[in-house]
Amino acid sequence: MNPDQTSTGAAQRRGLFRAGDRVQLTDPRGRLHTITLAEGASFHTHRGYLDHDQLLGSPEGSVVRNTAGIEYLAVRPLLADYVLSMPRGAAVVYPKDSGQIVAMADIYPGARVIEAGVGSGALTMSLLRAVGDGGSLHSIERREDFAAIARGNVEGFFGGPHPAWELSVGDLSDVLPTVAEPGTVDRVVLDMLAPWENLDAVAEALAPGGVFISYVATTTQLSRLAEDIRTDGRYTEPEAWESMVRGWHLEGLAVRPQHRMIGHTGFLLTTRRLADGVEAPQRRRRPAKGAYPVAPDGAPAVDDSELWSPEAMGERLVSDKKLRRARRDVGQAPQEA
Ligand SMILES: C[S@@+](CC[C@H](N)C(=O)[O-])C[C@H]1O[C@@H](n2cnc3c(N)ncnc32)[C@H](O)[C@@H]1O
Q: Looking at residue 68, which CATH number applies to its domain? A: 3.10.330.20
- Distance between Cα 266 and ligand 1 center (Å): 14
Q: What range does the domain containing 26 cover?
A: 16-77
Residues 96 and 169 in one domain: yes
3-state SS assignment for residue 63: strand
Residue 121 marked as a ligand binder:
yes
Asked if residue 168 is part of any domain, the answer here is yes
* pLDDT score of 308: 76
Q: How many structural domains compose the chain?
A: 2
Ligand 1 atom nearest residue 90's Cα: 2
Residues 155 and 20 in one domain: no
Kindly report, residue by residue over 188-246, the tens digit of the pLDDT.
999 999 999 999 999 999 999 999 999 999 999 999 999 999 999 999 999 999 999 99
DSSP 142: S
Per the CB < 8 A criterion, the answer to whether 139 and 112 are in contact is no
Q: Is the pLDDT of residue 322 over 70?
A: yes
Out of 60, 77, 94, pick the residue that ends a domain.
Answer: 77
Residues 177 and 66 in one domain: no
Ligand 1 atom nearest residue 121's Cα: 9
User: Residue 110: which CATH number?
Assistant: 3.40.50.150
Asked if residue 193 is part of any domain, the answer here is yes
Q: Of 123, 138, 52, 56, give the one whose Cα is nearest residue 86.
A: 123
* pLDDT score of 297: 62
Exposed, middle or buried: residue 62 (CB in 10 Å: 0-12, 13-18, 19+)?
A: middle
Q: How many Å from the N-terminal Cα to the C-terminal Cα in the chain?
A: 48
- Distance between Cα 261 and ligand 1 center (Å): 25
**Ligand 1 pocket: which of 113, 125, 191 to mutate (most atoms within 8 A of CB):** 191
Ligand 1 atom nearest residue 91's Cα: 1
Per the CB < 8 A criterion, the answer to whether 17 and 55 are in contact is yes
Which residues approach ligand 1 with their CB closer than 6 A? 90-93, 116-123, 140-143, 146, 171-172, 191-193, 198
Mean of all residue pLDDT scores within the chain: 92
- Whether pTM > 0.85 for this model: the answer is yes
Residues 50 and 144 in one domain: no
> What is the pLDDT confidence band of residue 101, given thresholds at 50, 70 and 90?
very high
Sheet strands (E) in 201-301 = 206-216, 239-241, 248-251, 254-257, 267-272
- Distance between Cα 327 and ligand 1 center (Å): 17
- Distance between Cα 215 and ligand 1 center (Å): 11
> What is the pLDDT confidence band of residue 296, given thresholds at 50, 70 and 90?
low
Asked if residue 278 is part of any domain, the answer here is yes
Mean pLDDT, residues 62-80 taken together: 97
Q: Is pLDDT larger for residue 324 or for residue 154?
A: 154
* pLDDT score of 293: 63
- Distance between Cα 91 and ligand 1 center (Å): 9
